[in-house]
């Protein structure tokens, strides 16, 4: 018998992902599930699905799940968490959901330092509806609703969520990561794990922004998408820790 060196995390169901080939949602789902496994919290975790490509996350995570209206996941998560603070509560949201229609819920759950974890997948486009301009679409980016490129003079500039929230007194931990290579995937997992650990320790609000790709709606191969992410997304959305109230203590 050979030794099992790689297997599906327990916290993922056997359902097949509906995501397009090359989409990074699969990697991010796996990272969250691995963290739930390693921290042994699947049995007391309640996930909140949002609206967008990740709407079906309730089919993929084995923990209890509730599906929220567009943008409202942090409010629903607030209710779930307040109902029983022993619950581990996370939302999984895209950029349209979190940074456009749900901006108020994002900002106010952060400023309350609500003890929840938000996984924010930023791929600079509305995926589920077929590639429209997102609040995080880059200047000049061509989408279905910015066919001549995002014109910042008429529609304004992309929103940098981690930077914006870092100005608030409330939130505990904000980090931007990506999953374009193995090194970054490992760093992303470390950040996601820290976010859940903070929640377990009652430390408060954490948001992990994962800079991601959308090969289908960007109109690129998966490989080319990763190159585009590196050349265009990362300069506008620099990786790093934007806030960590407990960083110093940990370093000591």
Partner 1 sequence: MADKVLMKGNEAIAEAAIMAGCNFYFGYPITPQTEVAAYMAKRMPKIGGTFLQAESEVAAINMCIGVASTGKRVMTSSSSPGVSLKAEGISYMAGCDLPALIVNVQRGGPGLGGIQPSQSDYFQAVKGGGHGDYHLFVVAPASVQEMVSLTAHAFNVAEKYRVPAMLLADGTLGQMMEPVVLDNITVEEHDKSWALTGTKMEREHNVINSLSMLPEELEQWNIDRFKRYEAMEEQEPMWEEYEMEDAEVCVVAFGISSRVSKNAIMAARAKGLKVGMIRPITLWPFPKKVLRAAADKVKAFVTVEMNMGQMFEDVELATRCLKPVLKCNRTGGCIPTPEHVLSVIEDAFNVGGEQ
> Which residues form the interface with partner 1 (CB under 8 A)?
13, 42-46, 48-49, 55, 58, 61-69, 72, 75-84, 87, 104-105, 107-108
Nearer to partner 1, 55 or 195 (CB): 55
Is there a contact between 166 and 160 (Cβ–Cβ < 8 Å)?
no
Secondary structure element (H or E) that encloses residue 117, with its range: strand 117-122
Nearer to partner 1, 90 or 237 (CB): 90
Q: Residue 12 corresponds to which tokens in the numbers above?
A: 């993922």
Nearest-approach distance from CB 40 to partner 1, in angstroms: 9
Nearest-approach distance from CB 69 to partner 1, in angstroms: 5
Nearest-approach distance from CB 222 to partner 1, in angstroms: 25
Nearest-approach distance from CB 45 to partner 1, in angstroms: 7
Nearer to partner 1, 83 or 221 (CB): 83
Nearer to partner 1, 69 or 152 (CB): 69
First to last CA, the chain: 44
User: Which DSSP letter does residue 150 get?
Assistant: -
Nearer to partner 1, 64 or 163 (CB): 64
List of residues 6+ apart from 238 with CB closer than 8 A: 176
- Per DSSP, helices labelled H in 18-172 are 25-38, 57-60, 73-83, 95-96, 103-111, 152-155, 161-166
Nearest-approach distance from CB 68 to partner 1, in angstroms: 7
Question: 5 exposed, middle or buried (CB, 10 Å; 0-12, 13-18, 19+)?
Answer: exposed
């Amino acid at each position: 018998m050979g030794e099992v060196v790689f297997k599906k995390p327990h916290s993922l169901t056997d359902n097949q992902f509906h995501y397009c080939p090359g989409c990074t949602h699969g990697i991010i789902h796996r990272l969250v599930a691995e963290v739930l496994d390693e921290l042994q919290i699947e049995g007391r975790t309640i996930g909140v699905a949002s609206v967008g490509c990740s709407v079906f996350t309730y089919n993929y995570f084995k923990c209890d799940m509730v599906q929220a209206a567009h943008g409202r996941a942090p409010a629903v998560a607030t209710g779930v968490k307040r109902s029983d603070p022993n619950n581990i509560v996370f939302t999984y949201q895209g950029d349209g959901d979190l940074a456009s229609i749900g901006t108020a819920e994002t900002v106010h759950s952060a400023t309350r330092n609500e003890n929840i974890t938000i996984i924010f997948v930023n791929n600079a486009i509305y995926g589920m509806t077929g590639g429209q301009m997102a609040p995080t679409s880059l200047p000049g980016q061509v989408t279905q609703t910015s066919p001549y490129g995002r014109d910042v003079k008429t529609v304004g500039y992309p929103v940098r969520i981690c930077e914006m929230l870092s100005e608030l007194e409330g939130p505990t931990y904000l980090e931007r990561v990506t999953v374009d290579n193995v090194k970054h995937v490992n760093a992303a997992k470390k950040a996601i794990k820290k976010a859940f650990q903070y929640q377990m320790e009652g430390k408060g609000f954490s948001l992990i922004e994962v800079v991601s790709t959308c090969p289908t709606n960007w109109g690129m191969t998966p490989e080319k998408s990763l190159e585009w992410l590196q050349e265009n997304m990362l300069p506008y959305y620099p990786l790093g820790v934007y806030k960590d109230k407990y960083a110093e203590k940990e370093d000591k």
